Amino acid sequence: MKNFLVLFFLICSPIVCCAQILGDGWTREEHDAYWQEIQQRDRERERAHQRFLEEQERERRATENRIRSERFVSALDVDEMIAHVLISEGFSTVDEIALVAVDELSSIEGFDEDLAQELQNRAKAFVEKRNAEFVEKTKTLGVDDSLKTISGLDQDMILSLAEHDVKNLDDLADLASDELMEILGEGIITEAEANRIIMSAREHWFTEDENN
């Protein structure tokens, strides 16, 4: 009944409003001009909202690229120009550079085989060192292996979580999306990604309920 009343109001309110306007002495032309103005304002609000969303997306991408650039500069000991080239070619992690064929790197405009090989050597060395440090740090911090199975979490994220006392699936599952985003830092993941990670951590709750 409630839904019917809401639908009735939505359908009838413009008619009632129109009748009130005409009843107040408005001419048909004035009425039409009035509704055209309302529709124009609605379109302007929609365009403004779209511009706002586009600006948010540009800011998100800029932050994401800045973080990637900083990681490449630090991990590969390269300048920002090379880091930006790698990003523009679609590389987002050092691991990708370590695993890609050298021919693919050397085919990038401005790169030659020597530079490509050196970049990959540095990437492999970084990944090897980082993986060894990750194993040691997770043992020291007491991180449960189950946390490492969650898709969307990389090693840096897992260590950040552990440093904030989030060390197993239940700890992660208890977080809200904004809490997870705050722990990981600005621009690391989106709200949608945070929600997916948390829901993935909660899956074992539902499995346990079904088995009981």
pLDDT on residue 197: 97
User: 64 or 95: whose pLDDT is higher?
Assistant: 95
- Determine the average pLDDT of the residues in 21-38: 75
The predicted model scores a pTM of 0.66
Distance CA 151, CA 200 (A): 8
Mind listing the pLDDT tens digit for each residue in 91-141?
999 999 999 999 999 999 999 999 999 999 999 999 999 999 999 999 999
pLDDT on residue 63: 84
Distance CA 58, CA 64 (A): 10
Give the percent of the chain with pLDDT over 70: 86
Q: Which of 178, 156, 167 is nearest to 201 (CA)?
A: 167
Distance CA 177, CA 187 (A): 13
Phi, psi of 82 (to 5 degrees): -65, -40
Asked if residue 23 has pLDDT above 80, the reply is no
Distance CA 57, CA 182 (A): 19
Burial class (CB in 10 A: 0-12, 13-18, 19+), 84: middle
